Structure 1
Amino acid sequence: MDQHLIALDLDGTTLNNQSALTQETIRTLRTLADEGHIVSIITGRPYRIARHIYDQIGIKTPMVNFNGALTHIPHEAWDGEYEVALTRELALDLLANREQLGIKTITVEDKYRVWANHPTKDLPEFLPDHLRDDQLLTAENLTGRPISLIIEYQPGQAEKVIKAVNEKYGTFVEARVWGGPYNILELIHRGTHKESGMYYVAKQYQINRSHIIAFGDEHNDLEMLDAAGRGVAMQNAIPDIKAIADDVTPVDNDHDGLAKYLQEYFKLSI
């Protein structure tokens, strides 16, 4: 079979409901990689909380983090690596105006570093629940340009924050509300979504669109699934994702839906 790019969202897709990989998923993805396919994680997660998943799978192909804003090969110096950064001014402006905007927590990241105005226990896997002094978000500590900016807002304050961002920074910044039960929105460079990272990886390996298969379940997967040659929604995906997908997995992420779909599609004997 021709070489494919297999683009994988993590949460709600490749990972089960305990945010873990199953052995069946690992075996399936390793088999596909061994057969010469490009297995690529394309996630909204920062690198710091996606690296262990990449290492568990045991692949050596590019990873896309921050919903398309960072593309790299972990543990390697790759000349194809790129990032799409925001501005330091944006982060410090929101920090200064956080109380009037109803912002609880601001978390800023680049590839290796994270800063926040305070630790939070609200979402410990994604937001830092402890900080060193040099990780406190201040003008002195934030010396470079961040890639990602996550805002945890007070209930009902999302529109106020988005309006303030759009008025001042809307020409280059885009706000996206997280799915699920979280009062969280992410600021990304306008036009940077998962599909841009997916297409970039495909270009590196001369894989055309018809040989791209992408999997996802949430709002931030929409552009990627829509742009892939074959966009596959998880059984547990939100309705908007199922509506644009070319196919839906027969079972959900908590029952190896991704692995089972890939085994059937590529006729694997696992």
Structure 2
Amino acid sequence: MERKLIAIDLDGTTLNADAQISAKTKAVLTQAREAGHIVSIVTGRPNRISANFYDELHLDGPMINFNGSLGHIPHQQWASEYQYTFNKEVAFDLLAHRQELGINMIAAEGKNLFLAVRDQPVEVGFFPSVLQSNQILNQKTLKENPTSLTVAVDRSHQEHLLSYLQHNFSDEVDAAPWGGPNSVVELGVKGVQKATGVEVLAHHYHVERKNIIAFGDEHNDTAMIDYAGWGVAMQNATTAIKGLAQDVTPLDNNHDGLADYLQDYLKLAE
């Protein structure tokens, strides 16, 4: 079998509902690599909360974070490292209008950037519950352009926020609401998606598109599933992702769906 590039989303795909990698998933991904295939994490998560999974899987190649906006090799220099950013004025504008837009929290992030401001308590697992004084987002602290802005907004204001962003900044950023229970809108550089990162990986490893397998479950996996030669939706994926993918895993992310599928697809020994 030709060498495959296996692009794996984290939440809802490689991770179970407890945000953990099961023993079976770890074993199968290791087996796949031992058989000569490449395993790469391609996630919407920031690098600060993905590197632990990268290390747990003993990966050594590039990782893609922020839905394609950051490509890097953790713990080392990589000549091909890249990071897309947008104008910090977008953050300043949202800060200035946060009351009328119903915004409870804004976090500005990048590879080495984490600043946030919170007006209401927000239970979003990605964010520290207590902010240090050097992590407060304002006009003075945000000195560099961010890669990502994550905005928690009152559910009743979400549509208003999306239309405000569309009207004011649609030439600079793409805004996407998160799936799941939290009313969160994520801003990234216009036109940059997970497929942007997968394309970088494909060039880096000299793998043709037909030999790319991508696994995902949510809206932010759309471009990657579409770009891959073989796009696989998780059993727990959205209807839209299932409709786009070439195949769907028989099992969901809580029952080793990715590992079970790969074992079969790559013909790895039990």
Q: Tell whether the structures are fold-level matches, with TM greater than 0.5.
A: yes
Q: CA deviation at 1:30?
A: 1.4
Superposed CA RMSD: 1.3
Asked whether 1:218 is paired with 2:218, we answer: yes
Structure 1 counterpart of 2:146: 146
Gaps of at least 5 residues in structure 1 are none
Q: Contact 1:120/1:130 (CA < 8 Å) preserved in 2?
A: no
Give distance in 1, aligned partners of 2:130 and 2:49: 15
Q: Deviations over 1:92-123 (max 9, x none)?
A: 11111100111110011111221111287533
State percent identity of aligned pairs: 45
Runs of 4+ in 1 over 6 A off after TM superposition: none
* Paired residue secondary structure (2:64): strand
Gaps of at least 5 residues in structure 2 are none
Structure 1 counterpart of 2:48: 48
Asked whether 1:35 is paired with 2:31, we answer: no
Q: Contact 2:113/2:146 (CA < 8 Å) preserved in 1?
A: no
Question: Do the aligned partners of residues 206 and 119 (structure 1) sit closer, same or farther apart at CA in structure 2, a change above 3 Å counting?
Answer: farther
- Alignment of structure 1 residues 168-247 onto 2, 5 Å: 168-247=168-247
Residue type at the aligned position of 2:194: K
Structure 1 counterpart of 2:262: 262
Structure 1 counterpart of 2:7: 7
Residue type at the aligned position of 2:206: Q
* Paired residue secondary structure (2:100): helix
* Paired residue secondary structure (1:192): coil
Q: Contact 1:4/1:37 (CA < 8 Å) preserved in 2?
A: yes
Question: Do the aligned partners of residues 30 and 120 (structure 1) sit closer, same or farther apart at CA in structure 2, a change above 3 Å counting?
Answer: farther
- Alignment of structure 1 residues 48-87 onto 2, 5 Å: 48-87=48-87
Q: CA deviation at 1:162?
A: 1.6
Give distance in 2, aligned partners of 1:99 and 1:127: 21
Residue type at the aligned position of 1:47: N
Q: Contact 2:104/2:153 (CA < 8 Å) preserved in 1?
A: yes
Q: So what's the TM-score if we normalise by structure 1?
A: 0.97
Paired residues, number = 270
Q: CA deviation at 1:205?
A: 0.9
Q: Contact 1:119/1:129 (CA < 8 Å) preserved in 2?
A: no
Give distance in 1, aligned partners of 2:246 and 2:39: 19
